[in-house]
Amino acid sequence: MSEGIVGRAVNAVLIPPQAERFAALVGADPDRLVLNVAGWNKLVLLDTDRVFLFPRSAIGVEWFERELAAYRALAGAQLSVVPHLLGRWEDTEIYPFPFAAVTRLHGQVPAQPETLIEQLGQAIARWHELEPPLLDGARPPSHHDAAHHRWLRRALDPATCASAAAEAAGRLDRPERASAWADLLASAAQLAPVLVHGDIHEDQLLADGGQLTGVIDWETARVDHPFWDFDLGEWGTGLWRRSRRDFSVLWARAWLPYAQARGLDTDSRPLETAFRLRQALGLLTDPGDPAITGTIEEHLAGL
């Protein structure tokens, strides 16, 4: 990218008169801002110490406001790896929707995020310890409408975990495992709802020198079962190709510091059972690429 394009990146979001009014309002130098367009629901302008967030469209405003609400709730945890909300503005002469600024965290998206898994488990424990906030309209992302995700939601509910275990045992032709799976899922179902990020994967993480420095993009935050923040199914294919056969170890490494910090049972088998069964059930209808997703037999062998 040439220096000239970087210097006027602001004009991809704001036309020059809007950019001038924006600069005067927030005290930013428009020539210093860098554009990031990776987000599905928002555009991002990066300053040296701040990040400005702009909903892409009217549809994105809901997710934008939920992200800001999450940052307000997270302020109580005083976590250095979570952005802090600096301001929110509404000025239609600058932008048709509200926009905001949060602190810019240092670091880069890690090449091998699995090396940060213990640190991530510790950080997750910090925000799960918060009093769950009210997040109006918060809900899982749309891909959770798939049947295997709906099964997992039933498996993590005390009222339906036993029937979910029986369903999995029947559909996967493992009737002899139904009782053991039911016990493990019942244990998982006893965990109280917490504030979850809801979409943790490597692109939401920042690291520097082997240290976790950021967990960003909280627009999918909601109050839900704590396991959702340990869902390796949300992570990219790089992790699955490198480390799929080590997922048992990764879940254990993430869960141990998390459970210790929260005073919970350190046994990671309920966590692994929930997600491996969800994965196996998903493969029944969509086998995908076995080199990435593995096979049903492989996931069941991990239990």
Q: Where are the domains of the chain?
A: 3-103, 113-301
pLDDT for residue 262: 98
- Percent of the chain with pLDDT strictly greater than 70: 98
Instruction: State pLDDT tens for residues 279-302.
Output: 999 999 999 999 999 999 999 999
CA angle 235, 199, 261 (to 5 degrees): 95
Model pTM score: 0.94
Q: With 90 as the cut, is the pLDDT of residue 248 above it? A: yes
Contacting residues for 56 by C-beta, under 8 A, at least 6 apart = 39, 40, 41, 42, 43
Long-range contacts of 279-284 (CB under 8 A, 24+ apart): 279/148, 279/233, 280/168, 280/172, 281/147, 281/148, 281/151, 281/168, 281/171, 281/172, 282/146, 282/147, 282/148, 284/171, 284/172
Q: With 80 as the cut, is the pLDDT of residue 225 above it? A: yes
- Cα(39)–Cα(211) distance, rounded to whole angstroms? 24
Instruction: State pLDDT tens for residues 88-147.
Output: 999 999 999 999 999 999 999 999 999 999 999 999 999 999 999 988 888 888 889 999
CA atoms within 13 A on the CB side of 88: 14
Buried b (16+ CB within 10 A) or exposed e, 26-41: bebebeebebeeebeb
| The architecture CATH gives domain 3-103 | 2-Layer Sandwich (3.30)
Do residues 237 and 101 touch, judged by C-beta distance below 8 A?
no
Q: With 60 as the cut, is the pLDDT of residue 6 above it? A: no
Instruction: Residue 255: name the closest of 118, 105, 72 by CA.
Output: 118
Q: With 70 as the cut, is the pLDDT of residue 36 above it? A: yes
Q: What is the average per-residue pLDDT within 222-251?
A: 96
Right CATH number for 113-301 from 1.10.287, 1.10.510, 3.90.1200, 1.20.140? 3.90.1200
- Percent of the chain with pLDDT strictly greater than 90: 92
Do residues 284 and 230 touch, judged by C-beta distance below 8 A?
no
pLDDT for residue 142: 87
pLDDT band at 228 (very low <50, low <70, confident <90, very high): very high
Q: Which residue has the tokens 């899922």?
A: 185
Instruction: Residue 42: name the closest of 236, 218, 213, 198 by CA.
Output: 218
DSSP lists the bridge partners of residue 205 as 215
DSSP lists the bridge partners of residue 85 as 102
Q: With 90 as the cut, is the pLDDT of residue 56 above it? A: yes
pLDDT band at 224 (very low <50, low <70, confident <90, very high): very high
Which amino acid appears at position 124 of this protein? I
DSSP lists the bridge partners of residue 195 as 223
pLDDT band at 8 (very low <50, low <70, confident <90, very high): confident
